[in-house]
């Protein structure tokens, strides 16, 4: 029903998006329509979204709120090298938003704070050139000072770097190149840029986006189980899929 009357049509294109950013009016309406006509759906979840941490871990990260650095963030074999941003709720920035589409609750993520550089080689060079400096001081040459201090606290190796054995330097390097963190969740649909999952593409014609079992019914854009990286890919999918459906609807 639309207003006080019923609308009859031979074609209907559902372009109502996913669940992301409900304050802008996002709902699961497209999914309800798909279910009504017997189409399959894959599980939905927030994607391209900041990650959050349990109170103990968050207490250590909160003092870094506003600090940003380039990093490689990985989950399994998937990795992204982009900016990492510390927030009052946890971690954000392009690298985190990208990996959030591949992360699942219970999974750790790994952060390389010196992309393209072997931290062990860096520490050995620092031990040779300035043996009386502390580890945090050496790291501050490459990282924001507050972040260098946190990493140094995590490593918990007091004293001058000139006194560090190779074994200690190797442990410190691992903490820099392979810093392991375990998020407990995300900020959810409230801030997620896209919705992962949705209407199963197997139930839609690949060229027209029409439901295979319901002639004249089309689903496009974020309502469909197609999710891209940052960089305009999701906008492009919305426009391209809408155009494809519009040509035949």
pLDDT tens per residue across span 48-70: 999 999 999 999 899 999 999 99
Write out residues in the chain with pLDDT < 50, as ranges: 1
Q: Where in the chain is the domain with CATH 3.50.50.60?
A: 12-46+189-246
Of 212, 186, 143, the C-alpha closest to 46 is 186
Q: What is the pTM of this model?
A: 0.91
Give residue 155's pLDDT: 86
Instruction: Give the per-residue pLDDT at 247.
Output: 96
How many C-beta atoms lie closer than 10 Å to residue 92's C-beta? 21
Residues 165 and 124: beta-carbon distance below 8 Å: no
Residue 212 near residue 50 (C-beta atoms within 8 A): no
DSSP strands (E only) in 19-144: 41-47, 51-52, 68-75, 78-86, 90-92, 109-112
Q: CB pairs under 8 A, 24+ apart, for 3-12?
A: 9/216, 10/216, 11/216, 11/217, 11/218, 11/249, 12/216, 12/217, 12/218, 12/249
What is the pLDDT, as a whole number, of residue 141? Answer: 94
The pLDDT score that the predictor gives to residue 28 is 93
Distant-in-sequence, close-in-space partners of 158: CB < 8 Å, separation ≥ 6: 134
pLDDT at 3: 65
Q: What is the pLDDT of residue 156?
A: 81
| Closest listed residue to residue 151, CA positions, set 129, 119, 115 | 119
| Rounded Cα–Cα distance for residues 192 and 186 (Å) | 9
pLDDT computed for residue 82 by the predictor: 97
Report how far residue 146's alpha carbon sits from residue 148's, in angstroms, rounded to the nearest whole number: 5
Q: Is the dihedral of CA 132, 138, 140, 146 positive or negative?
A: negative
Classify residue 13 by its DSSP letter: E
Q: For the chain, where do the domains classified as CATH 2.40.30.10 start and end?
A: 51-186
> Alpha-carbon distance 217 to 3, whole Å?
21
May I ask the CATH class of domain 12-46+189-246? alpha beta
CATH topology of domain 51-186: Elongation Factor Tu (Ef-tu); domain 3 (2.40.30)
Eight-state DSSP code of residue 201:
G
């Amino acid at each position: 029903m639309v207003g006080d009357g019923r609308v009859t049509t031979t074609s209907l294109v559902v372009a109502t998006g996913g669940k992301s950013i409900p304050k802008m009016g996002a709902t699961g309406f497209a999914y309800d329509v798909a279910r009504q006509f017997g189409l399959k759906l894959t599980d939905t979840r927030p994607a391209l979204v900041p990650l959050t941490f349990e109170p103990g871990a968050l207490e250590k990260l909160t003092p870094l709120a506003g600090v940003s650095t380039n990093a490689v963030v990985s989950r399994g074999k998937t990795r992204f090298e982009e900016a990492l941003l510390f927030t009052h709720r946890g971690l954000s920035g392009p690298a985190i938003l990208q990996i959030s589409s591949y992360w699942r609750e219970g999974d750790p993520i790994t952060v390389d704070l010196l992309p393209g550089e072997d931290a062990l080689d860096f520490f050995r060079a620092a031990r040779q050139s300035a043996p009386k400096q502390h580890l945090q001081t050496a790291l501050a040459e490459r990282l924001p000072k507050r972040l260098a201090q946190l990493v140094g606290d995590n490593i918990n190796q007091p004293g001058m770097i000139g006194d560090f054995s190779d074994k200690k330097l190797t442990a410190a390097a691992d903490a820099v190149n392979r810093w392991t963190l375990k998020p407990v969740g995300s900020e959810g649909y409230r801030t997620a840029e896209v919705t992962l999952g949705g209407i199963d593409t197997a139930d839609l014609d690949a060229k027209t986006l029409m439901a295979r079992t319901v002639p004249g019914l089309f689903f496009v854009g974020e309502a469909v189980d197609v999710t891209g990286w940052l960089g305009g890919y999701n906008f492009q999918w919305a426009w391209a899929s809408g155009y494809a459906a519009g040509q035949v609807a």
